[in-house]
């Protein structure tokens, strides 16, 4: 079966820091033929990166905490524990952004970088695609408050044992999907990662 879709109309309904597009389209059906015309709004952010910062020598994970507008309907938990992340700007590569954001948000210089995976975050309504990395860092001098003033960032950096980070996922203390994915990956791959990074 050939999978096809046809865009009938596209409209930009909002253009600001982010963009919202509205589509009228139709697509082929698994049972054959074409479905009815449908209307969908699409939140357009583009490509982003996230980096799980890990020190294999001390078995520490670097987490960041900041206010998130997406969590304002749960006021007592509007400050989310996450990992370093950022948008890929025009002319930048994912790797360059990983190094830049790690310095800006956590004060960490990455020694080595590997790709964990690439995925869409919420493809039912958003175009955002993430390249998820793991970065080898030295955690011994990490901590404090970071972020860029001109982006109004106020980021608290935490340095925790990898097992503590995993328990934060188990206990629902981490509620953002990207760090959950990253920390679960580390739990499954920590031994191979430590061997790779020559411990």
- 12 with 70, same domain: the answer is no
In whole angstroms, give the CA distance from residue 4 to residue 62: 43
41-76 confidence digits (pLDDT tens)? 999 988 999 999 999 999 999 999 999 988 999 888
pLDDT of residue 76: 86
Q: Which residues of the chain have pLDDT under 50?
A: none
In whole angstroms, give the CA distance from residue 67 to residue 163: 24
Task: Indicate which residue of 151, 153, 164, 175 is catalytic.
Answer: 151
Of 63, 110, 112, 105, which Cα lies nearest the Cα of 87? Answer: 105
* Residue range(s) defining the domain that contains residue 184: 47-196
- 70 with 132, same domain: the answer is yes
- 56 with 80, same domain: the answer is yes
Q: Find the Cα–Cα–Cα–Cα dihedral 105, 108, 109, 115, rounded to 10°.
A: -70
In whole angstroms, give the CA distance from residue 142 to residue 171: 25
101 a catalytic residue: no
pLDDT of residue 199: 58
- 14 with 33, same domain: the answer is yes
Please count the structural domains in the chain. 2
Q: Are 52 and 131 in contact (CB under 8 A)?
A: no
């Amino acid at each position: 079966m050939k999978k096809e879709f046809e865009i009938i109309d596209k409209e930009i309904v909002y253009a600001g820091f982010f963009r919202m597009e509205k589509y009228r389209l139709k697509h082929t059906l698994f049972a054959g033929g074409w479905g009815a015309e449908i209307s969908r709004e699409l939140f357009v952010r583009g490509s982003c990166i996230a980096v799980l910062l890990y020190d294999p020598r001390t078995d520490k994970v670097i987490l960041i905490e900041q206010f998130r507008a997406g969590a304002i309907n749960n006021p007592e938990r509007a400050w989310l524990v996450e990992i370093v992340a950022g948008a890929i700007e025009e002319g930048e590569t994912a790797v360059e952004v990983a190094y830049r954001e790690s310095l800006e948000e956590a004060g960490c210089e990455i020694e080595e970088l590997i790709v964990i995976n690439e995925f869409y975050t919420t493809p039912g309504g958003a175009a955002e695609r993430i390249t998820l990395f793991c970065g080898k860092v030295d955690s011994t001098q990490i901590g404090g408050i970071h972020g860029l003033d001109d982006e109004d960032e106020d980021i608290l950096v935490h340095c925790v044992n990898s097992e503590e980070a995993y328990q934060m996922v188990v206990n629902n203390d981490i509620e953002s999907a990207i760090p959950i994915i990253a920390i679960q990956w580390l739990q499954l791959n920590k031994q191979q990662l430590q061997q790779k990074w020559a411990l």
